[in-house]
Homo-oligomer: A and B are copies of this chain.
């Protein structure tokens, strides 16, 4: 009986190896640096995969959020596509209800639309963002209110 318990404990410990590896590096790209920018609340890591320039326009970057972390409201003059690679997050455009987004979702944010995105309160969240830069840099607005953050159903 004791042998059986040990086998179960050993097998259970092995079970968590692939899962934890998938959570820390599902895409294989580096998690990057902890952001010290003023345009978010909570911890967000940023990993630049391609600098947008005149030869090849879109900026490509991975962002990884601690549970509860969120960006302020903002606008992309050239739009943005988010490829969700880990966890569960919120996405909201001004005047619309916030919605829950998951790993495997593709979010298309049209040029000029005020919006925010962030992690849910109890799960990490990561995406690869593709952001054309030729029409201008991101315009940052006010922080997301607790009312908006807690409004998601």
Q: Which residues of A contact B (CB under 8 A)?
A: 3-4, 7-8, 11-12, 14-15, 18-19, 21-22, 25-30, 49-50, 55-58, 60, 78-79, 81, 83-86, 102-104, 106, 108, 110-111, 128, 130, 132
Given the known inter-chain contacts A29-B106, A81-B50, A106-B29, please indicate yes or no for A57 contacting B57, CB distance below 8 A: yes
Complex copy number for this chain:
2
- The secondary-structure label for the interface of chain A is mixed
Residue of B7, B55, B58, B86 near A8 (CB, 8 A) is: B7
Q: Which residues of B contact A11 (CB under 8 A)?
A: 7-8, 11-12, 14-15
Tell me, in angstroms, the Cα distance from A130 to B102 when the chains sit together.
21
Give 13 A-B pairs besides A11-B14, A56-B132, A58-B132 with Cβ atoms closer than 8 angstroms.
A3-B4, A11-B12, A18-B19, A22-B22, A22-B26, A26-B26, A26-B28, A28-B104, A29-B104, A57-B57, A58-B58, A60-B83, A60-B106
